Amino acid sequence: MAKDSVIILSGGMDSVTLLHYKKDNIALAVSFDYGSNHNAREIECACYQCNLLGIEHLVIPLEFMGKFFKSSLLEGADSIPEGNYDDENMKSTVVPFRNGVMLSVACGLAESRGLKHVIMANHGGDHSIYPDCRPEFVRAMSDAMKFGTYDGITLEGAFTNITKGDIAAIGKRLGVDYSHTYSCYKGREKHCGKCGTCVERREAMALAGIDDPTIYEEE
């Protein structure tokens, strides 16, 4: 298989699973330091996974997002809501057009490197909460990238129409070590176990029949 793709790699469950799933196609992984509460811990996991697979990894700073964009994800651990992963509870964590910004940079990297595709790990559970994870956005962004580059770069959202539980099942089959992933939006040393992403992480692993290796604060 040709190594012709750039992956947006946060270091969370979804993107790390996609990294392993598409490893034969991935020439470059890129993470973005944009000032979120959990950025540093996620990037550490992204570095670990790329080293494990022998995939080049770049970390690109996007400080302006942390300074000028409004989101509880950028405002410290105490701003993060706890409870279920649903519309009302998680809407404050939306970073406006975050994926649009990051995908634009990744597209430029792809064309600069002579690569053909950018891949991202959005999934079905994100659709109602995050506008820049929806199928319509993926299609529109792919068109913008294709028509805005000489090489016709395209965007692939391999997990767009499946759930996080489905992703965990793929990771189980691939033998992904989820102890080297990070999900908690509070960004502390241990996962809080209470915010929407922690709840969703636990549920996905349970659905996939994975013995959750995550260390949570209340345990």
DSSP 189: S
The answer to whether position 130 is within a domain reads yes
CB pairs under 8 A, 24+ apart, for 79-85? 80/37, 80/185, 80/186, 80/195, 81/195, 81/196, 82/192, 82/194, 82/195, 82/196, 83/194, 83/195, 83/196, 83/199, 84/196, 84/199, 85/125, 85/129, 85/196, 85/197, 85/199, 85/200
The answer to whether position 213 is within a domain reads no
Give 80-118 pLDDT, tens digit per residue. 888 775 556 678 888 999 999 999 999 999 999 999 999
CATH code (residue 169):
3.40.50.620
For residues 111 and 81, give the distance between their C-alpha atoms in angstroms, rounded to a whole number.
39
What do you get for the CA distance between the two ends of the chain, in Å? 43
Q: What per-residue confidence (pLDDT) applies to 46?
A: 98
Partner residues linked to 7 by β-bridges: 29, 119
Give 14-54 pLDDT, tens digit per residue. 999 999 999 999 999 999 999 999 999 999 999 999 999 99
Confidence check: pLDDT of 182 > 90: yes
pLDDT mean across residues, the chain: 93
Q: What per-residue confidence (pLDDT) applies to 216?
A: 96
Helix/strand/coil for 57? strand
The answer to whether position 165 is within a domain reads yes
The answer to whether position 217 is within a domain reads no
The answer to whether position 123 is within a domain reads yes
Query: What domain range is 157 assigned to?
Result: 5-208
Confidence check: pLDDT of 63 > 70: yes
For residues 89 and 111, give the distance between their C-alpha atoms in angstroms, rounded to a whole number.
38
Confidence check: pLDDT of 174 > 80: yes
The answer to whether position 216 is within a domain reads no
pTM: 0.94
Q: What per-residue confidence (pLDDT) applies to 25?
A: 98
Helix/strand/coil for 196? helix
Q: What per-residue confidence (pLDDT) applies to 80?
A: 87
Q: CA geometry: angle at 13 spanning 55 and 205, to 5°? A: 140
**Could you give the percent of the chain with pLDDT greater than 90?**
84
Phi, psi of 157 (to 5 degrees): -110, 85
Name which residue leads in pLDDT, 135 or 129. 135
Q: How confident is the model at residue 79 (pLDDT cuts 50, 70, 90)?
A: confident
Partner residues linked to 195 by β-bridges: 82
For residues 135 and 152, give the distance between their C-alpha atoms in angstroms, rounded to a whole number.
20
Residue with tokens 């965007």: 155
The answer to whether position 81 is within a domain reads yes
The answer to whether position 174 is within a domain reads yes
Q: For the chain, how many structural domains are there in total?
A: 1
For residues 37 and 51, give the distance between their C-alpha atoms in angstroms, rounded to a whole number.
24
Confidence check: pLDDT of 69 > 60: yes
Per-position DSSP letters for 69-124, written without gaps between them:
---GGGS-GGGS-BS-SSHHHHGGG--TTHHHHHHHHHHHHHHHHT--EEEE---G
Q: What per-residue confidence (pLDDT) applies to 85?
A: 56
Q: How confident is the model at residue 134 (pLDDT cuts 50, 70, 90)?
A: very high
